[in-house]
Structure 1
Amino acid sequence: MAATLACDATTAFTGRVPFPYARATGRPPARAQARGAPAESGRAAAPKASTLPGSPRAPRRRRTRLEMQDRLIFLIGSPRSGSTLTARMLGAHSAICAPPETHLLTPLAHLGFYGTVEKAPYDPIITRQAAHELVRALPGGEEDYLAALRACSDAVYERLLAASGRELLLEKTPAYALVLDFLAKLYPKAKYLVLTRHPLAVWSSYVESFFDGDHEAAHRNNPLLERYVPAIARFLRERPVPILPLRYETLVQEPDAEMRRVCEFLGIAFEPGMVEYGREGAAQPKAAAGLGDPITVARESRPTTKSVAKWASEMARSPGQLEQAREILDRLADEDLETWGHPRAAILEQLGAVTPGGPPRKRSWNRYALERRLLVRLRKNIHQNALGRVVTRVRFVCDVLLR
């Protein structure tokens, strides 16, 4: 498998089959073929057929092979924006393969040339410098570098698609919204579906789903809106690639019309099963399993509007979260909120209509919710309490043993 992936990446980048791979598979290297090398049986290579018009042995015209990016769909959206639901709907189409989140391209975007990391088992500063020197040394510069990265990801995507027997591959990884400039360079001809949702609905869902209602811990861990809203809004305004904007609220209220619009953009026929994605016998009932919403989408069989205004009642039970929401809004630009389809004035009016109070939040007791609740409790003040000291000591011992 590793040899096959390496061969595919090398072949896509250079147009040649690596010789060690050729020896292992019986496929002669491209250079030998170009020189008219003799076949393994020892017979001389057959002379080239005439290319003159009317020649009885004129070569057949080569079939045009679609590039992987011609079959690739990116679903761009922040965490908790409804991307898992959208992926389930798209994966229910007989032509679309919707695998779990791959997180394949984020590391490629941080190899040093476009972005880097702060901590790694290597020196990120030297790696960044080396990456720039490497690109300068390539004959085609940045284009050669992109072609090499594309060959790597193409090899993975092509195997996913071939195993599914479908025509199009859906890539849904929310973290890609933070590397959109790189993505547009790597796959400029792919189709991009860009999903937005009411910012406070995104934030409330994030707080409730991953931090058991602890809005302060959620923001310390990840200032989600401050990171994703500007990045996605700029992408929507600049439109460097083929883009179809989608709004979560419209998607769940008018799923048929929205899926027809998506299918027209993708150049495929609409299938009613896309809306009834969870029905028995659907084209891909387990589409987009894995990372993402582990509970809500799997519980429903079609889009529901239950979560459209849920954020208001959730924030009403937490005056601190209401105040935090106003502070977050102050850090977001009017232009970005407008691009998301939720102007500041409209959001502030909705916030003003929220009356603090209401019944306590009904807790979920499924396995996933219990795991998240336990993690939140254990992580609280972990660097100051006795448990944190024990974990730090155990980690030190493990590092010594495994290095």
Structure 2
Amino acid sequence: MPQTTFNTIDTIDLAGKRVLVRVDLNVPMKAGKVTDATRIERAAPTLKELAAKGARVVVLSHFGRPDGKRVPEMSLKPLVEPLAAALGKPVAFAEDCIGPLAEDAVRTLKPGDVLLLENLRFHKEEEKNDRGFVDKLSVLGDVYVNDAFSAAHRAHASTEGLAHLLPAAAGRLMQAELEALDKALGNPRRPVCAVVGGAKVSTKLDLLGNLVGKVDKLIIGGGMANTFMQAQGIAVGKSLSEKDLGKTALEILDKAKAADCRVLLPVDVVVAAEFKAGAPSRVVDAKACPDDQMILDVGPKSIELYKQEVADCATLVWNGPLGAFEIQPFDTGTVALARAVADQTAAGKLLSVAGGGDTVAALAAAGVEDKFSYVSTAGGAFLEWMEGKALPGVAALIRAA
């Protein structure tokens, strides 16, 4: 998606304006404390810039799934302190996101001030994209900025509805995400390689179907690879595999062949009798998995093959680990390929974009999460984008542009 199709905060006069900024502050919490502030830190640059430009910044976010009820444990109030720390300035808080409490809090803002409103999902109308609720939100602002790509696959009041009522723009995080994704699959430098791993083919059918028509090479790893191997008559022992999807796997391989996309499956694998830390394991040919063993990672020959294939590419997208990376030594394949991609990226030879929960965790475990060109923390939105689906939150910004 070319960046020219949506407004950015460079294109709107913000001084003195009340700017409603949709961010994603749905962070992990334990005992009322934030345990991972990544999303807060990623939201901070846009909020800082808006405040520095003299905007009256009104922050909107959801937290958890309160199902339209006021759930004290899902209040955004505990986020005031960590958000203020990330911004280096005080953050006010309103006990509601619409109505008199929110309106009074907004009214007291001076240029450069920041206000966090209470959890949007305390109102069931948020997820229903209810027009009346959108109206109540819109009276709080003069301009709407969406900086929550991670929620852009949902057509909610704060992610889609507001863009139709107020001058709308993408925040810096949304802008960076859209520009990275465009370079990766929208208008990429070729050859393009996709790495798709994870446990099940069933969760990634749309993804694989879309990718084989867009990339030059597709590396399939994780439990998914077992399903593809089994579909071709290769025994996989006790490995995780979806036998009922064999026909679908063969159809994807046929589609890839027709699209001139090379599909790469493991040539050797690491097997063990059980999936637990320290379980005895060994490397066998991909076609020689014993009946009483399970495949838990790709082997050294596969790793070298994948490294060579990636070395010939200009662009790479990655979603999902190659093996059971949560437990050593079954993280070896994922870590080795991730580090090779990071090295290629650092050398300026590769544009690398990765995303999805397990993927981010795997790259962090490999120590390279900041060494890819772009790592998306968006989860579902990233996956739907890779599947080729239109994201309502993004589409609304384009229509508003």
TM-score (norm 2): 0.27
* Structure with more relative contact order (C-alpha pairs < 8 Å, separation 6 or more): 1
User: More helix per residue: 1 or 2?
Assistant: 1
TM-score (norm 1): 0.27
User: More strand per residue: 1 or 2?
Assistant: 2
